[in-house]
Amino acid sequence: MEKIGEGVEHLLHELSVLSVSGGEVGQSEFVLTNYMFWLLIAIAVTGVFLVIAARRVALVPNSRLGSVVEMGVEFVRDTLCVDVMGPEGAKYLNFIGAIFFLVLFNNLIGLIPGAKPGTGTMGTTVTWALMVFVVYNGIGIKKHGLFGYLKSFWPKGIMAPLAAFVALLEVISQLVRPLTLSVRLYANMYAGHVILGIFSIFGAMFLEASGIMKIAAVLPIAIQAILYALELFVAVIQAYIFAVLTAVYINGALHTH
């Protein structure tokens, strides 16, 4: 039990926000953290992908890379934009696509042994959720005007007290969205890495033991492999959920009725 406790303590330390050199991050200093480092790499990968998409999608793909890029862009355009928002959604392809691929590449890079997902910290996910909040409300205000957009929160055809209560619930729902959007992404990615780390601890403990206990190490290692495949699936699904909710919020702002 003592070894398990030490292993979990080390795991949580490794998953905490540290400088790239492994040291603790101070309160009043700016340092490049482990999560920030991998976040910057994911942003660079996303930028390269989007540049390739901008150059290749308009042309006939003549390579496997071009085909993969085109499939990804078509998925975002058709499934996340047009299917959710109608034909009008196609003009939001750039924003929804950037959101989807940025979250996706952060999640996938985080699965590389030794890497940390940018989505594994609340600072990152809250920032993105607030950006989405500002964008979709800005779209609603631009289309309907400030007064018209705010008026849409007040339901028509019901008594004033009940309408006021419904409007209050709608305002609360709007304000809570950044929190739910950010916590959902962060919690799934962070919890997945904790679970993988715990089974790594069990596997290492069995391998360090003697006799038949070494053979028993096959079980936690096999479970870890299954969980790793599941985490790969979760990484894609969470990117999809974040992007599709963004599209739903934009659609709600466009069609306030």
Indicate the burial class of 106 (C-beta count within 10 angstroms; 0-12, 13-18, 19 or more): buried
Q: What is the pLDDT of residue 60?
A: 58
Q: What is the pLDDT of residue 31?
A: 74
Query: How many distinct structural domains can be found in the chain?
Result: 1
Angle between helix 93-109 and 64-75 (nearest 10)? 120
Indicate the burial class of 170 (C-beta count within 10 angstroms; 0-12, 13-18, 19 or more): middle
In whole angstroms, what is the distance from residue 168 CA to residue 184 CA? Answer: 24
Q: Which helix (H) or strand (E) holds 229?
A: helix 218-254
Look up residue 42 and give its two tokens: 């994911």
- Name 24's bridge partners: 18
In whole angstroms, what is the distance from residue 166 CA to residue 158 CA? Answer: 10
Q: What is the pLDDT of residue 71?
A: 83
State which residues form the domain around 222: 2-254
Q: What is the pLDDT of residue 130?
A: 95
In whole angstroms, what is the distance from residue 223 CA to residue 43 CA? Answer: 31
- pLDDT tens digits, the chain, 257 residues: what are they? 566 666 666 666 667 777 766 666 655 566 778 888 888 999 999 888 888 777 655 555 566 766 777 888 888 889 999 999 988 888 999 899 999 999 999 999 988 888 888 888 888 899 999 999 999 999 999 988 988 888 888 888 778 888 888 888 888 988 999 999 999 999 988 888 888 887 777 777 767 766 666 676 677 778 878 888 888 999 999 999 999 999 999 998 888 76
